[in-house]
Amino acid sequence: MPIHSDDSLERGTTIDGRPAGLRTIARDAHPISRKDISPNALRVLYRLRDAGFAGFLVGGAVRDLLVGGHPKDFDIATSATPEEVRHLFRNSRLIGRRFRLAHVVFGREIIEVATFRANVDDGSGDRELHAGGRLVRDNVFGAIEDDAIRRDFTANALYYAIDDFSVRDYTGGFEDVQNRVLRLIGDPEQRYREDPVRMLRAVRLAAKLGFSIDDATASPLPVLAPLLRESAPARLFEECLKLFLSGHAVASFLGLERHGLLPVLLPETSSALAANRSGALRRMLLEGLRGTDVRVANDEPVSPAFLFALLLWPAYCRTLMALQAQGMHAAEAQRRAADRVTLHQLSMIALPRRFSLPMQEIWLLQSRFAQRQRKRVMRLLAHPRFRAGFDFLVLRQFASNEHSEEVAFWQEAQTQPMDPLETHSDEQALEPGEEPAQLDGDAPRKRRRRRRPVASQ
Ligand code: ATP
Ligand code: MG
């Protein structure tokens, strides 16, 4: 596609050794059409323009439209201050502390409108850096060029103008999108130090878009990965949801592994996978993530509890084995292992209790699938987490096919009519004298006592 550019160099700065300046890609030289843009976003753009402000569609939406994708949200950058936006739109509110911006609300759709910001220290105290170079506040308004270069990747720094439908490119992002390359703007190490979450964003966006990561952007990742520990655990949780529940979980996981981020993000899982010589746990994990991607593609619901049960299962298995090897009783070991793994992981990723509790339930249910007495079967079938627990059991077949008989049994049991007197859902762990859990690590297994399945009685 030819690039029409007016190449009006307004600043003499260079970005990563490449010339910085405005390149305007005219409407006939890019594929973005107004019919692919949310009508509400168009409304905001027109209103800003009519009020005399500059307003552009920016960021992920422009990037996604250029590669033929469907943006999930439409962000706008403007010369208007948040207060001016607030006055212009009755249906708006101001949000954010680190970034002050306006949300314009149209029913269920929210259009985020942010004032052009600079990534410079003007001495006003509106921009603070921590000793390590981490950015803590970033509220200095600036020109559009400043707004472009403070963004993370060149592909995310493209501006779609409503007055002439052109795309404005200050960082070489248009060419990078065409070549499907993800490239940080500026010095990669400095940009990662400012905000280590950018490391996860690099892997996530490469996975989502099928882009490669430019060498200079990729090479610092394994070295700087430990900086992620300084990021807010709540932000890391949000980023994990985007990594794994947006339809590209397998690619995200492989990217995290490949670029050395997994040992920092999920340390216990990472070491448990390394210790699992057969590779069975990794196969199971990847199979679970593949299933998640299929569900997202089919518009079926996906649950963070199930996701984290999967991501932390290797860590849980390993901890459980260690506790049982110390002679701890199975039921006690299961509870302790679940708590320990959750607690350790929480220091990195703030998994809310509404997800960590069902996650633990999914783990604790696993040992109950071995129990086939009629009463226990009925009780388990009525358990609110039965379905998730069963789906998890199905996945465990990928680590060890010794679960196939259990899977067949419980598949069949679900088709049997329920006894209404038996349906209550109190959570029960193994009772004294009962068998320890059969889990999927490398440790030696005990032989399981056979019980006659109720379904065949
Ligand atoms: P998606 O919405 O598909 O996950 P996105 O690029 O739109 O990806 P958002 O988190 O919605 O991601 O961010 C919107 C825009 O804000 C980005 O495109 C980028 O320009 C900028 N941005 C987001 N996070 C950062 C960051 N950590 N550092 C610099 N710029 C960022
Ligand atoms: Mg976005």
Q: What is the DSSP string of 350-369?
A: ---HHHHHHHHHHHHHGGGG
Model pTM? Answer: 0.85
Q: Compute the distance from residue 122 Cα to the ligand 1 centre, in Å.
A: 24
pLDDT in tens, 172-207: 999 999 999 999 999 999 999 999 999 999 999 999
Residue 126 and residue 255 in one domain: no
Q: Are residues 32 and 140 in the same domain?
A: yes
Give the residue-averaged pLDDT of 386-397: 90
Q: How far is the CA of 205 from the centre of ligand 2 (A)?
A: 11
Residue 98, pLDDT score: 67
Predicted pLDDT at 5:
42
Mean pLDDT over residues 345-360, rounded? 96
Poorest-pLDDT segment among 44-48, 264-268, 329-333, 430-434: 430-434
Residue 310 covered by a domain: yes
Across 143-164, average pLDDT: 96
Distance from Cα 261 to the centre of ligand 2, integer Å: 22
What stretches of 63-195 adopt beta strand conformation (E)?
Answer: 75-78, 92-95, 101-106, 109-115, 127-129, 135-138, 158-161, 167-169, 181-182
* Domain-located, residue 296: yes
The parent domain of residue 362 ranges over: 250-421
290/183 same-domain check: no
Q: What is the pLDDT of residue 430?
A: 34
- Can you tell me which atom of ligand 1 is nearest the CA of 72? 2
Strands 23-25 and 167-169: antiparallel
Catalytic status, residue 7: no
Closest atom of ligand 1 to CA, residue 242: 4
Active site residue 75: yes
Query: Which of 175, 194, 213 is the C-terminal boundary of a domain?
Result: 194
Pocket test for ligand 1, best of 201, 231, 241, 243 (most atoms within 8 A of CB): 201
Tokens matching residue 332: 């006690």
What local confidence, expressed as pLDDT, does residue 120 receive? 59
Domain contains 202: no
Give the residue-averaged pLDDT of 230-237: 97
Do residues 175 and 62 both lie within one domain? yes
Mean pLDDT for the stretch of residues 161-180: 97
Indicate if 114 and 179 belong to the same structural domain: yes
If asked whether residues 256 and 126 sit together in one domain, one would say no
Q: Is 57 helix (H, G, I), strand (E, B) or coil?
A: strand
* Angle between helices 386-396 and 353-365 in degrees, nearest 10: 60
pLDDT value for 48:
98
Higher pLDDT, 412 or 316: 316
* 201, part of any domain: no
pLDDT digits (tens, 9 = 90+) for 248-265: 999 999 999 999 999 999
Same domain, 164 and 91: yes
Per the CB < 8 A criterion, the answer to whether 204 and 242 are in contact is yes
Taking residue 330's Cβ as centre, other Cβ atoms within 10 Å add up to 19
User: For residue 419, what pLDDT is reported?
Assistant: 54
227 domain-assigned: no
70 and 185, same domain (yes or no): yes
Verify that 302 and 173 share a domain, yes or no.
Answer: no
Query: Which residues does a 6 A CB cutoff place in the pocket of ligand 1?
Result: 59-60, 73, 75, 151-152, 156-157, 195, 197-198, 242
Indicate which residue's Cα is closest to atom 9 of ligand 1: 60
Residues 319, 170 within the same domain? no
**Residue 71 reports pLDDT greater than 60:** yes
Same domain? 55 vs 133: yes
Total residue count of the chain as it appears in this document: 457
Least confident range of 79-83, 108-112, 158-162, 386-390: 386-390
Model confidence at 97, in pLDDT bands (50, 70, 90)? confident
Question: Average pLDDT over the chain, rounded to whole?
Answer: 86
- 449 assigned to some structural domain: no
Structural domain total, the chain: 2
The Å distance, Cα 72 to ligand 2 centre, comes to 7
Which of the listed residues 194, 212, 241 is the one where a domain comes to its end? 194
Statement: residue 418 has pLDDT above 80 = no
Q: Is 431 domain-assigned?
A: no
Q: Give the tokens for residue 65.
A: 């439209």
Residue nearest to atom 16 of ligand 1 (CA): 59
Atom in ligand 1 nearest the alpha carbon of residue 208: 3
> Which CATH number belongs to the domain containing residue 331 in this structure?
1.10.3090.10
pLDDT band at 104 (very low <50, low <70, confident <90, very high): very high
Helices (H) and strands (E) in the chain, counts: 20, 14
Nearest ligand 1 atom to alpha carbon 61 = 7
Residue ID of nearest Cα to ligand 1 atom 11: 60
Expressed in angstroms and rounded, the spacing between residue 77 Cα and the centre of ligand 1 is 12
What pLDDT does residue 133 have?
67
CATH number at residue 144: 3.30.460.10
180 within a domain of the structure (yes/no): yes
pLDDT confidence tier of residue 26, bands split at 50, 70 and 90 = very high
- From the list 264, 150, 155, 265, the residue with the least C-alpha distance to 210 is 155
Least confident of 228-232, 322-326, 407-411: 407-411
Query: Are residues 276 and 186 located together in one domain of the fold?
Result: no
The residues, ordered by sequence, that sit 6+ positions from 324 with a Cβ below 8 Å of its Cβ are 330, 333, 436
* Token pair of 28 as six digits: 């006939």
